[in-house]
Structure 1
Amino acid sequence: MAGTGPGPVREALDALPLVDHHCHGAVTADLDRAEFESLLTEGAAWPGVSPFDSPVGLALRRHCAPLLGLERHAPADDYLARRAELGWQEVNRRFLGAARAETFCVDTGYAPHPVTSPADLAEAAGATAHEVVRLESVAESVAARGVAAGRYAAAFRAAAEEAVRRPGVVAVKSVAAYRTGFDLDPARPTYAEVTRAAALWFVRGGRLTDPVLMRHLLWTAVALGVPLQLHAGFGDSDLRLHRADPALLTDWLRLTVGTVPVLLLHCWPYQRQAAYLATVFEHVHLDVGLALHYVGPGRAGAVLAEAMEITPFRKLLYSSDAYGVAEFHHLGALSFRHGLAGLLQERVDADDMSHADAVRIAAWTGRDNARRLYGLPVSDPGRD
């Protein structure tokens, strides 16, 4: 795409401290090749098919290798050897700092590996961090305590309310897209429906996957009074992608108008559907995190372009959705800056917008929209 090189808009974006409104921790251990490769993909590192031989692998070797003191495009073996030589603490410090984020909003509900806490992430990056509470984890903790089925609804509501009162919590999140998909009955379930479903779940055990209880979770989230993040689109093999299309939420969104901000995360390949929802519903917002580091800086503009075709500029946010390897915190930020700068500079060059408009849109998307929605501190009120 034209306009991705250095220019006035790129300079403004490079200087902008970002708010990464949805990410995860970075691993707190040194990784061997198999462990590292497993974290480079939402799929699997199959025999003979290395994630280094993919778009994200190329982007990593091109844009992350120099931060380890290597030449661009360094071979994978050299990259891994240098990473091991530096150790995980130094690797995390370099990549988290390079992301140049002033704030991270960290989902703490997914941690199959030992990862940094929000405070640890902030310290390594020289930034601040806040917590995003994953509601499925709260529900499963309530079930694990042995509550009676008839008490589940009240117990989950109380536990969720307690969780959002913790210092530093700014939002809640649901992974309904993974557990049931979005093709749910949009109506609020009755107490009797929730009780029957809870009784069956407690007998069956396992993760929360019941559609009635997922509906109850989403309606409870609305009542908590904090922003609600919803994973949409791209994810790992647990997902059924066609059921993660955010357009399937249309009826539920219609019923929840006037409640809390709903933030559609990631969205690819449904960024256009998400853009439509953000255009017609006041409380809907979106990002295209996760996809950006997987396509890399060279193609990030194409994903962003579709997300921005009709989206109001106060509705688009930045996230990395980085998990595990700190390279993704850096690569997500770099892809976002390159992609958005290219799009905006192209429009400035075509006289479709002024330079001042482009800089304002960049600041809104990269930082200020998140500040406003999550009630984050604003050091420069004139920019929000």
Structure 2
Amino acid sequence: MGTVHEALDALRLVDHHCHGTVTGPCDRAAFESLLTEGEAWPGISSFDSPAGVAVRRHCAPLLDLPRHAPAEEYLARRSALGEPEVRQRFLRASGTDVFCVDTGYTPVPLTTPGEIAEAAGGTSYEVVRLEGVAEAVLAAGTEPDAYADAFRTAALDAVRRPGVVAVKSVAAYRTGFGLDPARPSDAEVTEAARGMLARGGRLDDPVLVRHLLWTAVDLGLPLQLHTGFGDAAIRLHRVDPALLTDWLHLTAGTIPVLLLHCWPHQRQAAFLAAVFERVYLDVGLTLHHVGPARSGAILAEALEITPFRKLLYSSDAYGVPEFYHLGALAFRRGLADLLQRRVDADELSLPDALRIARWTGRENALRVYGLAEDG
């Protein structure tokens, strides 16, 4: 039957939330800016962070370099190989064959879902970011009293594109979750749209964000929600998923809600997954930021009370393809260590552990998104 480590090493993963990677050359400044969620600061290198150290340790060998290769050598080798070759090496090494790609954040040109699938030798699907849809409707000069219908129509058109399997909201970045959970009235939406049209900018009006979340319910597809850890725009105390509790009560029994990343609120997310039938979670980008050395601790907290059919795998890889490989490696090692310890302590049978590994790494995502087993 083998060990849990052997089973997870062989399992073809489903990455239920990720992004494209840069398409052009990546110099040191650009690469370091993508290694962490923080800015580049004078005298402080992103290579001297847990993520940077993990990249030099676990990614260098895939570029034919020794483990812990110096940053200068790592970047020189990357440049010599070129982004297409680097992308293919890391995507194939991740052992992932299904990708659900958020296409809504492209401050620089990124690979498309199709290009990700080609590099990995797998299959990609699209996740539509609803804030981008709403902002396009507002930018088109829609009248305030027509905004609600225009947004709904645009969102329906977006999710009907071939290959779309889910929608996503970044309400965490725009307002946080301390919102009135009720569906806003038509009058409230019209007045909020009038204000947004007057001042422009990103969708950050609380009423319009509430309207967006309720529109997601109406669309009927799984909804991904960024929670927890992010860049400096996040107010961490406002993105605790527990703040969604009243809204989850109101929307219970409708759509799957997938809480992304969660750190440091993975225990609150686990509670929600334990008490709401249609709530799921991952620990996403947390894994490549803490690296394989700490991934088991994060997963252990996420799985303290989470039903085993409720935890999914995602890399949240963005910008650099190293994070596809590093996220998968940290997930496999962390989960295998956790499950194997429970087997060795006779707290879990080996068949149960192997089933949990398959569910978490692959089958839970296939079921939630309604994907065929062959991808």
The CA deviation string for residues 182-203 of structure 1, in whole angstroms up to 9 with x for no partner, is 0000000000000000000000
- What's the offset of the Cα at 1:45? 1.5
Q: How many residues align?
A: 374
Q: Which residue of 1 aligns with 2:323?
A: 328
- What's the offset of the Cα at 1:145? 1.1
Q: Which residue of 2 aligns with 1:110?
A: 105
1:248 partner letter = L
Q: Which residue of 2 aligns with 1:369?
A: 364
1:72 partner letter = R
2:347 partner letter = D
1:213 maps to 2:208: yes
1:51 partner letter = S
1:287 maps to 2:282: yes
CA distance in 2, matches of 1:220, 1:94: 39
CA distance in 1, matches of 2:38, 2:154: 33
CA distance in 2, matches of 1:273, 1:316: 13
CA distance in 1, matches of 2:119, 2:373: 22
The 5 Å alignment of 1:139-154 reads 139-154=134-149
- What's the offset of the Cα at 1:229? 0.3
The residue matched to 1:70 in structure 2 has which SS? coil
1:13 maps to 2:11: no
- What's the offset of the Cα at 1:144? 1.1
CA distance in 1, matches of 2:358, 2:107: 34
Selected match of 1:247 from 239, 242, 245 = 242
CA distance in 2, matches of 1:58, 1:40: 10
The residue matched to 2:204 in structure 1 has which SS? coil
Summarize the Cα distance change of 1:294–1:98 in structure 2 as closer, same or farther, 3 Å threshold.
same
1:111 partner letter = T
Q: Which residue of 2 aligns with 1:88?
A: 83
The residue matched to 1:183 in structure 2 has which SS? coil
Q: Which residue of 1 aligns with 2:188?
A: 193
- What's the offset of the Cα at 1:98? 0.7
1:230 maps to 2:225: yes
- What's the offset of the Cα at 1:65? 0.1
- What's the offset of the Cα at 1:102? 1.3
Q: Which residue of 2 aligns with 1:136?
A: 131
CA distance in 2, matches of 1:40, 1:55: 10
- What's the offset of the Cα at 1:378? 1.2
CA distance in 2, matches of 1:128, 1:150: 41
- What's the offset of the Cα at 1:321? 0.4
CA distance in 2, matches of 1:112, 1:13: 35
1:257 maps to 2:252: yes
CA distance in 2, matches of 1:145, 1:245: 33
CA distance in 1, matches of 2:64, 2:42: 29
1:102 partner letter = D
CA distance in 2, matches of 1:96, 1:84: 17
CA distance in 2, matches of 1:379, 1:242: 40
CA distance in 2, matches of 1:365, 1:31: 33
Selected match of 1:48 from 40, 43, 49 = 43
- What's the offset of the Cα at 1:163? 0.8
Q: Which residue of 2 aligns with 1:3?
A: none
- What's the offset of the Cα at 1:113? 1.3
CA distance in 2, matches of 1:133, 1:98: 27
The residue matched to 1:42 in structure 2 has which SS? coil
The CA deviation string for residues 153-191 of structure 1, in whole angstroms up to 9 with x for no partner, is 001011111111110000000000100000000000000
Q: Which residue of 2 aligns with 1:161?
A: 156
Q: Which residue of 2 aligns with 1:170?
A: 165
The CA deviation string for residues 58-116 of structure 1, in whole angstroms up to 9 with x for no partner, is 10000000000000000000000000010001000100111111100000000111110
- What's the offset of the Cα at 1:379? 3.5
The residue matched to 2:225 in structure 1 has which SS? strand
The 5 Å alignment of 1:263-342 reads 263-342=258-337
1:126 partner letter = G
1:63 partner letter = H
The residue matched to 2:35 in structure 1 has which SS? coil
Q: Which residue of 2 aligns with 1:4?
A: none
The residue matched to 1:133 in structure 2 has which SS? strand
What's the RMSD between the two structures over aligned residues? 0.8
Unpaired runs of 5+ residues, structure 2, are none
The residue matched to 2:37 in structure 1 has which SS? coil
Q: Which residue of 2 aligns with 1:182?
A: 177
Unpaired runs of 5+ residues, structure 1, are 1-6
1:101 maps to 2:96: yes
- What's the offset of the Cα at 1:372? 0.2
The residue matched to 1:39 in structure 2 has which SS? helix
